[in-house]
Amino acid sequence: MRKKRIMVIGPTKCGKTTLVNSLNDYDGPLRKTQDVIYGKNTIDVPGSYIENTWMYKHLIAIAQDASHVLILIDQSNCTDVYSPNFAKAFICPVIGVITKVDLMKENEERCIRLLKQIGILEPYYKISVPGGIGITDLKEYLFLNKR
């Protein structure tokens, strides 16, 4: 049986790789993700997979190896790239994560509305990896509840 990992989905430059590195306890250099990368605990998916709806089928297939799916919304650039009820396509738990919460605080309510539109139920995790905000709570939840 394959190891179940945490799949991380989000648009380009929303903080996916920074979060993935934190979840994998890796603090080396950041590299642009051009392909799906299976890490120690994670599946890092390039932003292009969510930015092109014809690639959704690939996301759904990759999610078969996931214990959880994290769907990221960047508070500093709160763009609507997800289809309505997108989260309903996955059979594993889907968690809403608002990244870069230390930036553009006025966008928080819009990010929450987008997560609800995507079909993700609360609670939402509000994080800033460089700022150390919320990452401990997210890790505790993921690693204590991992199947």
Return the CATH number at 49. Answer: 3.40.50.300
> What is the Cα–Cα distance from 36 to 104, expressed in whole angstroms?
29
Q: What is the pLDDT of residue 60?
A: 95
Q: Which of 90, 97, 8 is nearest to 46 (CA)?
A: 8
Contact yes or no for 98/73 (Cβ under 8 A): yes
In order along its 147 residues, the chain shows pLDDT tens digits of 577 999 999 999 999 999 999 999 988 877 776 899 999 999 999 999 999 989 999 999 999 999 999 999 999 998 899 999 999 999 999 999 999 999 999 999 999 999 999 999 999 999 999 899 999 999 999 998 554
Strand extents, DSSP E, 61-122: 66-74, 94-99
Place of tokens 């994080």: 127
DSSP classification of residue 128: B
* Bond from prior residue into 29 cis (ω within 30 degrees of 0): no
Which residues, including other chains, have CB under 8 Å from residue 60's CB and lie 6 or more apart? Answer: 89, 90
**Domain of residue 96, residue span:** 5-144
Q: What is the pLDDT of residue 147?
A: 45
> What is the Cα–Cα distance from 147 to 143, expressed in whole angstroms?
9
- Domain tally for the chain? 1
Q: What is the pLDDT of residue 138?
A: 96
- pTM value is 0.93
Q: What is the pLDDT of residue 122?
A: 95
